[in-house]
Amino acid sequence: MRFFLRFILVAGLSYVAGLYLPWWTAAIIGFLVGLSLSQKSENSRRRSFTKPRPPARAFLAGFLALFLLWGGLAYGLDSANTSIMSEKISQIILSGAQPPISGTYVMLLVTGLMGGLIGGFSTMTGNLLGEAIRN
């Protein structure tokens, strides 16, 4: 349940904030969502003898939220100009080398991965800090 709530909050708030604020506010939103939805570990008394919960779910929720959001927005903007800009940028970055797949898809994948890593690491960081504060 927390996974889907994190996913929806990170994606929705990042989209709304992205309309008015710079791109890096998505990292702040991911951090705040991870911080607010973290929970106290079950055996806080015996911390030295228990294994901590892995923060992979928080990372995955933030990663998927911003990967899909940024990838979808990049696809919408790219299809609006018939992929002219992404083809030219991929030729500049790859120095004229022909990639095995279209340069458009490479640029969309890179954009989605950058957003996903930003969202994943910020949400995981907020979750870890919240768990440390609550213990």
pLDDT in tens, 63-106: 999 999 999 999 998 888 887 887 777 777 777 666 566 677 88
Q: Is the pTM of this model over 0.85?
A: no
DSSP codes joined into one string, 63-86: HHHHHHHHHHHHHHHHHHTTTHHH
CA distances to 13, 25, 86, 92 from 29, rounded to whole Å, are: 7, 6, 28, 32
What's the mean pLDDT in 118-128? 93
Q: What is the structure's pLDDT at 52?
A: 59
> Domain coordinates of the chain in residue numbers?
2-42+52-134
Q: What percent of the chain has pLDDT over 90?
A: 49
Q: What is the structure's pLDDT at 42?
A: 59
Q: What is the structure's pLDDT at 132?
A: 86
Q: What is the structure's pLDDT at 99?
A: 58
Across the chain, mean pLDDT equals 84
Q: Is 58 exposed, middle or buried (0-12, 13-18, 19+ CB in 10 A)?
A: buried
Write the secondary structure of 22-51 as one string of H (helix), E (strand) and C (coil).
CCCHHHHHHHHHHHHCCCCCCCCCCHHHCC
**pLDDT higher than 80, residue 58:** yes
